[in-house]
Structure 1
Amino acid sequence: MILGKIRLLKKELATFSRRERIFILSSMLCGFCICADYALVRPVSNALFITAYGSSYFAYAWLAMIPCNFLLLELYNRLLPRYSCLYLLGGMLFLIALGNGAAFFLLSKEGPYPFFYYIFKELYVMLLFQQLWAMIHATVSFQRAQYLYGLFFAVGALGGIFGSLIPGFFAFKMGSETLLLFSLPCALLLFFFYRSALTHSGIDPLLPPTKKGGVKEGFKQIASSKLLLFILFIVLFMQTSSSLIDFQFNSYLEKTIFQKDLRTEFTGRVMTLVNTLSFLIQTGGGFLLLSWLGLRRTHLLIPLFLLNNAIAFLFFPLLGMITLSFITIKAFDFSLFSIVKEMLYIPLTTEEKFHAKSIIDLFAYRSSKGIAAALILCFQLIYPAHLGSFVTSCLILLFFFWILSVRLLLKRELIESI
């Protein structure tokens, strides 16, 4: 059965036209550049943040991210009907390169720079992914998405592996701040590959992708669509639980590894494992699981697996166990979860793919960290001595409600309409 699916995949890939092949390859390389950049700057940002403030202050950064996220979302939605996709991405990359260049000079000095840079890199990476995937959804059909999306994410995982090797092996020798300069070539290559993909997609590279603007339009679209509401719920569950595990991982990291550059190296190597596991899932595991289990059962598998990890950590609260939980949830988030989530966007209109998707992928993704921050701060006030146990118990509840939402909201009729 599995060999038959692989043969069918090879035959299907052989039917693509030259234009389609260039689009697919260019889109894959865009994902490679974005993931490489994030894998590079994330360990640097986290290590500098912990050194400056300690892991307990992550909750405050996540709360501060909510108003910043909303302002960015409103600006992005207002610019959509005015500028083409290519001009928007070019403007984003110019500001990102400027921000990373400034961070190289400022992060080594005293001040609030690590706090602001942490928020900056979390917001800009989601904006880049939104711009890329909105274009992909407007071009790729559902039938092809079942195997192409896994390949898109697989090449992205290779970029993540490549990017995380730099802080994983050179942070201590070169210094964490110096590594941010490697982000600049990623931005230049991303613009080149995005222009190539856009030229070979179904979107006019010189025309605005939508006619309407503003955040209200996106919220209206989500409220009127059962499919968009379901996507919103699973994103909130995944990202809130991911943020809570991120907090636990950084807390144990702070207690165990005291030197800034060694923290950067450790996180870089962990992210190499995350991206390697993601790559293995994306290069075949995701396609085979979807073929074997179907879309609905695959959606159920993810929270069930993560629930087992949370229960295990409740009984064995060690750095090794939380590192395993961190690797698992990040690998699923970057691979299987992203594949099955992105497939749900395919039947939507172009307006929904840009407006509603931007609210979910920009606002909901990063605002979920605000929900996690509120839970952490409440636990710190009530029972600070048992913070770890409360966070783990909260994770178990989140995974339970996630499973329940899949069973209640993702009906077979809804899947058949995709």
Structure 2
Amino acid sequence: MSAAWRNDSNSPCRSSQTLEPAAWGDAAECAGSTSGATNSNESRSRMDDPFNRPPHGRASASVPRRAVTCRASSANTRQAARSSRLRNRRTVRLSATSKRSGGAIFSPDCRETPPCRRGQRMITALERVLGLRRGERTRALLLFAYLFLVIATSVAGKATRDALFLQQHDAARLPYADAAVALGVVALVALYVRARRAMNLLALQIGSLLLFSTGALALWWVGQGGAAPAWHPAVVYLWVGVFGALGPVQVWTLANYVLTLREAKRLFGLVGGGAILGWVVGGLMTTATAGRYGADNVLLALAAALAACAALVFVIWRRRPAAFGDEEPEASGRALSPASLCESLALVARSPYLRALALVIACSSLVTGIAAWQFKAIAKAYIPATDELASFFGWFNVCAGLLALATQCLATSRVLRRFGVGVALFIVPVSLVLGSVGLLAWGTLAAAVVLKGSDHVLRYSIDKSTVETLFLPVPAEQTFHAKLVIDGIVWRAGDVAGSAILLVAVAGLGVSAVGVGWINLVLLGGWMAIAWGDYR
């Protein structure tokens, strides 16, 4: 455009690039005053063309220069007004966002999504991937955290107790300790069933967790100040074994009381991931604490974790669905539930379904207990130092936990969907057969790690999800007693049977830790035969 037109002070279109909203009408009048020289369609196309190109088939000279410039100026004016409105809207939105985010200031020209909105989108995407629905996220994550802390505490405690016990006693005495743990679990379950009649589940779980936390703190205090009493390693072994049997049962029992059946089917996989992650973190905690501060000081961390679990139970119970009400869903039927351990055992014995499940669990406990003893005995022979042995157990739990977590995320749901529960029950015994054959062939620490690692990875991923799925058809109040009997007493009965077999084979017949693998192969054959009968 010419310099004369740009400097024409009489034209309202002279400074169209900096027009204020009050001057928009003048620019429109300027465009309308020259529209008669051209066709209206051409005028409209000219005003929308930012490069002021002539229409096809006609020369640009046919349109007056003043009309072209004024139309272009009007189009630029509308574009500037549109940009200004968008900037104003963005400024208002970002100002409101800054108030919600605690005063953070965002530039109006910033095209990035505010952090709070990005976080919400990430949470929504995570819920979609995990299959969570509205109102389920908080309960699922709290149960995940509860099981995570319980398993991390149990793993760290087992690594500590094994190191402390093997420091003063030979590996041949481990079966006696396991038998004592089994008897302690039976006694505690009997008290637990009677206490269930007198108080609700919330008070029972919080009270037991605080009791275990106090016990860990007392055992840590006794072990300080030099040489610990001779009974200290045995009591630590018993305390950790009893809690390791009861703690996970409490988590899954609480899950049956705060999740509906449909929610449980969707969320049990996520909740079970807390157990696998707990194995990893528990191993890391043991390695870091035992290597730097000594194995005794792990007990102090366990006391703090159990106190946190008690707080989590209270929060989870408060977030139960409104359909359950303020009381337990089966509170009215609690008076008709078993009042003693004998009645709980009779409940399992009368049900063919629970009997078959208990028999499979007993075989699993018997075989895996013998494999665990082989692993500990061979590890003690290769690593005699206490702190180094505790660190080794910790690193083993870390690596096995990571593999179990990968298996849980990538394989568990696919195996259950494709092959079903019946086939999934055979995965652990088949892997133990292969591991036992490898240990008999090589007899090294690496072969023992493979044997125990295959049990650890598969039993706490695919096998655990399979077993918990088998409890879903059982009513909630019966599930409480059935899980106490099967996961507590029946599992420990398998440990006692395994301890008796080890005492006869090792102490009586002088069979080596590697040679026990032949006994395990026979027991594995019986386990698979029972599983095959249940499958058919």
CA, structure 1 residues 204+171, in 2 after alignment: closer, same or farther (shift >3 Å)?
farther
1:344-383 superposed matches below 5 A = 344-383=470-509
| CA-based RMSD | 2.2
Quick one: distance in 2 between partners of 1:146 and 1:399? 30
Letter in 2 for 1:132: V
> What residue is the counterpart of 2:174 in the other structure?
58
Q: CA deviation at 1:143?
A: 5.5
Deviation sequence 1:249-301 (CA, Å, 0-9, x none)? 11112111111111110000001112112211222321111112111111122
Quick one: distance in 1 between partners of 2:453 and 2:294? 25
**Partners of 1:238 and 1:333 within 8 A in 2:** no
Letter in 1 for 2:447: M
Quick one: distance in 2 between partners of 1:190 and 1:12? 24
Q: Tell me the SS of whatever aligns to 1:388.
A: coil
Quick one: distance in 1 between partners of 2:263 and 2:430? 27
Q: CA deviation at 1:388?
A: 2.8
CA, structure 1 residues 181+12, in 2 after alignment: closer, same or farther (shift >3 Å)?
closer
> What residue is the counterpart of 1:217 in the other structure?
343
* Same amino acid, percent of matched pairs: 18
Matched, 1:400 2:525: yes
Q: Tell me the SS of whatever aligns to 2:425.
A: helix
> What residue is the counterpart of 2:144 in the other structure?
28
CA, structure 1 residues 331+173, in 2 after alignment: closer, same or farther (shift >3 Å)?
same
Q: Which runs of 5+ in 2 are unaligned?
A: 1-124
Q: Which runs of 5+ in 1 are unaligned?
A: 1-6, 412-418
Q: CA deviation at 1:64?
A: 1.7
**Partners of 1:27 and 1:136 within 8 A in 2:** yes
Q: 1:109 aligns with which of 222, 228, 239?
A: 228
Q: CA deviation at 1:142?
A: 5.7
Matched, 1:332 2:458: yes
Quick one: distance in 2 between partners of 1:205 and 1:35? 29
Q: CA deviation at 1:67?
A: 2.6
CA, structure 1 residues 388+204, in 2 after alignment: closer, same or farther (shift >3 Å)?
farther
Larger helix proportion of the pair: 1
Matched, 1:226 2:352: yes
Q: 2:268 aligns with which of 132, 135, 149?
A: 149
Letter in 2 for 1:256: Y
1:13-412 superposed matches below 5 A = 13-14=131-132, 16-18=133-135, 20-107=136-223, 108-140=227-259, 145-201=264-320, 210-211=334-335, 212=337, 213-384=339-510, 386-411=511-536
Letter in 1 for 2:452: F
How many residue pairs are counted as aligned between the two chains? 401
Q: CA deviation at 1:11?
A: 7.3
TM-score by length of 1: 0.90
Q: CA deviation at 1:170?
A: 3.4
CA, structure 1 residues 389+13, in 2 after alignment: closer, same or farther (shift >3 Å)?
closer
Determine which structure has greater relative contact order: mean sequence separation of CA pairs < 8 Å that are 6+ residues apart, divided by chain length. Answer: 1
Quick one: distance in 1 between partners of 2:180 and 2:281? 31
CA, structure 1 residues 71+170, in 2 after alignment: closer, same or farther (shift >3 Å)?
closer
Deviates more, 1:263-272 or 1:175-184: 175-184
Q: CA deviation at 1:12?
A: 7.9
Letter in 2 for 1:188: A
Quick one: distance in 2 between partners of 1:23 and 1:57? 43
* Greater Cα radius of gyration, structure 1 or 2: 2
Quick one: distance in 1 between partners of 2:282 and 2:151? 7
